[in-house]
Amino acid sequence: MESSTDINVETAKIQKQIENHIGLGSEYLLFEYRNVNNNFQLDLITINPRHNQSFLFHSIVGVDKLDALTKMWDYVKNHLEKESSFTIQWAIRGSKDLHTSYFRAKNMYDALDKLYYGREMNALTVFSIALSPIS
């Protein structure tokens, strides 16, 4: 008797592939799912170990959790060729520590959305945003 695919096993396998490809351990990646208009939206969030702040890596919608995760894996494997690299210098409001973060995004507005994900607009001060040169 052939066993059906265990969704949890498949999910764990794909999440591990994503972690390995991005180069961050599981403690620095969050896979957040939510139901949006009878679909599942997956927000992949990274946590920077240097300043302990989280940012949106990418959002994607699927018909179910596994579909969203599979689409995220496809995105992760191919996003470097499709999106530009942006460098953002920022500080937490009230802090004197200047941070530099890098985002892959369609445009600067998309990069800023990733920076501000889950935050109030006045929580951070952005000092500069630049399109990184093509290497």
Q: Per-residue pLDDT tens for 46-69? A: 999 888 899 999 999 999 999 999
Strand partners of residue 100: 89
The C-alpha atoms of residue 10 and residue 62 are separated, in whole angstroms, by 16
The segments of the chain whose pLDDT lies below 70 read 1-4, 80, 135
**The two three-digit tokens of residue 35, written as one number:** 């139901």
Please give the pLDDT value at position 75: 94
Q: Domains in the chain, start-ordered, CATH in brackets?
A: 1-82 (3.30.160), 83-135 (no CATH)
Strand partners of residue 9: none
The C-alpha atoms of residue 50 and residue 107 are separated, in whole angstroms, by 25
Segments of 17-98 assigned E as strands: 29-36, 39-48, 53-62, 84-92
CA distances from 8 to 5, 41, 79, 111, 131 (A): 9, 17, 25, 32, 39
Tell me which amino acid residue 26 is. Answer: S
The C-alpha atoms of residue 1 and residue 17 are separated, in whole angstroms, by 29
**The two three-digit tokens of residue 26, written as one number:** 């599981």
Please give the pLDDT value at position 2: 44
